[in-house]
Amino acid sequence: ETGVTQSPTHLIKTRGQQVTLRCSSQSGHNTVSWYQQALGQGPQFIFQYYREEENGRGNFPPRFSGLQFPNYSSELNVNALELDDSALYLCASSSRTGTSGNEQFFGPGTRLTVL
Amino acid sequence: AQSVTQLGSHVSVSEGALVLLRCNYSSSVPPYLFWYVQYPNQGLQLLLKYTSAATLVKGINGFEAEFKKSETSFHLTKPSAHMSDAAEYFCAVNIYTDKLIFGTGTRLQVFP
């Protein structure tokens, strides 16, 4: 069973640029969630995708957007990068069963640095 | 609104000593609670979760946590610390959706 993978591992961008982060969910999982973890903080929920539709969003501006593909992989896009966007971006996949409390399996993350 | 508070951003113990990491939650409905561990430069790994079954939950690597509704707590314990337990630990709450709300984390240091 392949776990959650993310690419790239590290990324350096400058302010104002755009970035795309990618996530491959664990086999059999239909839900992908994205989290932002700033240095020294806990992860913050960005949004979640279920069957290619956005299904819940945290307190992040519209320049954070995403996609989920038919194979349940996902992308996180961030436009007009700001210095505060520097963080570890975590992707988590889960299998929605109609109840809450489903375990989310996390990838290793993408470390984004904005200069 | 739901929230999680982790008391103590840093905890230091000697190898073989008891580990106690504190987590309090705020929720108007029965929560699902999780403990995750994060090793340097890695993602999060689930240690254990509470989903309204037994109040004492046993997880991996010898960790366990007890759900106490009266105290709104879900503290993580391990009877005997090992050097390999040194990591960042996060408590999280999940209510009605699969969105996790995390605490700010506790860094555990284990001294020989």
- Closest to B5 (Cα-Cα) out of B109, B108, B101: B101
Q: Do B100 and A107 touch (CB under 8 A)?
A: no
Q: Is residue A16's pLDDT more than 80?
A: yes
Q: Does A35 touch chain B (CB under 8 A)?
A: yes
> How far, in Å, CA of A33 to CA of B58, rounded?
26
% of chain A with per-residue pLDDT over 70: 95
B66–chain A Cβ distance below 8 A for any pair = no
Average pLDDT of the residues in A9-29: 95
Q: Which residues of A touch B51 (CB under 8 A)?
A: 101
* Distance between A17 CA and the closest CA of chain B, angstroms: 25
Q: What residues are paired with B20 via a beta bridge?
A: B77
pLDDT of residue A98: 59
Cβ neighbours of B100 in A, within 8 Å = 33, 35, 43, 45, 92, 104
Distance from CA of A52 to the nearest CA of B (A): 16
**Length of chain A, please?**
115
The reported pLDDT for the residue numbered A2 is 72
The pLDDT assigned to A100 comes to 58
Please report the sign of the dihedral spanned by the C-alpha atoms of residue B104, residue A115, residue A73, residue A62. Answer: positive
Cα of B107 vs its chain's centroid, Å: 11
Residues of chain B scoring pLDDT < 70: 95-96
Tell me the C-alpha to C-alpha distance, in Å, between residue A72 and each of A3, A42, A75, A79, B28: 13, 25, 10, 23, 33
For B50-72, b/e burial (b = at least 16 CB within 10 A) is: bbeeeeebebeeebbbebeeeee
**A98 — contact with chain B (CB < 8 Å)?**
no
As given in the structure block, the two tokens for residue B41 are 């430069």
What SS3 state is found at B2?
coil
Nearest chain B residue to A89 by CA: give it: B43
For A63-101, how does the pLDDT look when each residue is reduced to its tens digit (9 = 90+)? 999 999 998 899 999 999 999 999 999 999 988 765 656
Give pLDDT tens digits for A34-66: 999 999 899 999 999 998 999 889 999 999 999
